[in-house]
Structure 1
Amino acid sequence: MTVIGLGQMGAALAGAFLDAGHPTTVFNRTPEKAEPLVARGAVRAATVAEAVAASGLVVVCVLDYPAVRDLLGPVAGALRGRTLVNLTSGSPEQAREEAAWAAGHGAGYLDGAVMTTPPGVGDSESMILYSGGPELLAGHRAALGVLGDPVDLGADAGLASLYDSGLLGLMWSVFGGWLHGTALTGADGVPAKEFTAVSVRWLRTVSWFLSTYADQIDAGEYPGDDATIDVQVATVGHLLHAGEARGIDGRLPRLHLELMKEAVAAGHGGDSYARVIDSFRKARPSEGSGS
């Protein structure tokens, strides 16, 4: 296989292929970055054309989509009959455009999102999301599986990037809540490690709520049989009070409170927390604006 782009992530991808015993050709605009991989058995291509010609499976991981096109555009004809796996971060729209471009040059295309940092590449517990060609993923699953657990999201090439964005948003929200809670308990002398041990256990219960609420969202029905929004509004008040008493910044819980109060004002105080999704589903500017 071929790996184009040897930043931290690209180098980790190439290293995982080498560790699994796969003949691997690498290319980077700065040739020196290939030296550690060459020392481990990789073949350094002198040009992008040489790199593409070396393998039927071409993995690219560079800064952004324009960089992908800058590299591959001049050698587009050489991609015919090959499978291009693009693990570069971007938007769903860019991924769909790139898939159409690859198809126009006779190449198979998989768009992907690496859901870990470089040290996690090669760990079977790490997810790598793929979309755009289920049959291509099935055909290359053994090879791509050495990078991490391949998760097939279907034929829409934009879904890996879309999931990536959503999952990163979830990660930052969890980080923010954990940091706020760590600051809150730390104000009373609780070590971060002790609070975190309980937090990780609590997240297992939170995951159960997510699964329950997902069914409610898909059905469009929000029974408040576990805890209503009205109850949770009061609970956030306790959190804010505890934070204020300890000098803890309350912007994050106040945001949650604002979203909950929107639902209450709309008459949904007796519904489950999942109803708050309505606050995120704002109409687009072109919808309902009369323009």
Structure 2
Amino acid sequence: MDVVTFGETMVLFTPQTAGPLRFVNQFAKTIAGAESNVAIALARLGHQVSWVSRLGNDEFGLYIRNFIRGEGVDTSRVVFDDEHPTAVFFKEQQVGQETKVYYYRKGSAASFLTPDDLDEQHLAQAKFLHVTGITSALSDSCLETTEHAVRLARKHDVTVVFDPNIRLKLWPKERARQVLNRIAAQVDVVMPGMEEGALLTGAAAPEDISQRLLAQGAKAVVIKLGERGAFYSTAGGLQEYVDGFPVKQVVDPIGAGDGFAAGFLSGLIRGWSYREAVRLGNRVGAFAVTVSGDVEGYPYWSQIAPDKQDEIYR
């Protein structure tokens, strides 16, 4: 197994027309979840990846499991919960305004994840564990599960890549800062966006953010800079800005960060340098923004392999 990840995935309803939801009659149904986004993107890039979660034992839960499994992701460790539902959320689109999102996830099956839902031997066989701050914010048991997963990974020499993925709708800023810094100090690679890095460290420049996170114990820090690409720094003293890939038209930025994470992980799995892995992350992230939806834009390896792109990663 190349990567194990875990977290909540929800059913997403996107309106077919703009305007207040009370006037919308038709929706498109799909799924969305940071960790399953990464899992699907990795599977398309040719890797063996497992996604662990709890889903309601309901039609939405079956839909999510079948969707993710259909993308080639191992879902054998997904638990179906008879007592708690699968979460859903809705987008609201109005012309000239930012898209609003309405979540219905309180008391969801995924928020009842516990350390017992993790299979130690399954995790021990992975090369990488991918963790996000979203899961930690869902509930106390989810936080316990996240910290337990990191401990198991360290016990078995599994490399831990941590994306803070801060969602302030889920918890207060100070609580997020405290908990996520505690997790960041226990992992190998921390991968925040600029605003997230600033919130965690109080620093404003990528170089300063990186140094503060490295000082906590990480071996490497990768800071996502959107269309500008990314900056990475290692405990060994390497650091570099890596340019992003130009996109003629951004259709939907949702999922770009998760695509970057998958591309970066793919590069590490292949034994590439940090620079090469970050560049691949930029490439996958650029693909993600060209279509609407979380996972719809993620490329297959045949589309972006170096021999198809004149060695653009080197």
Q: Same fold (TM over 0.5)?
A: no
Normalising by structure 2, report the TM-score.
0.34
Higher-helix-fraction structure? 1
Which structure has more relative contact order (CA 8 Å, sep 6+)? It is 2
The structure number with the bigger radius of gyration is 1
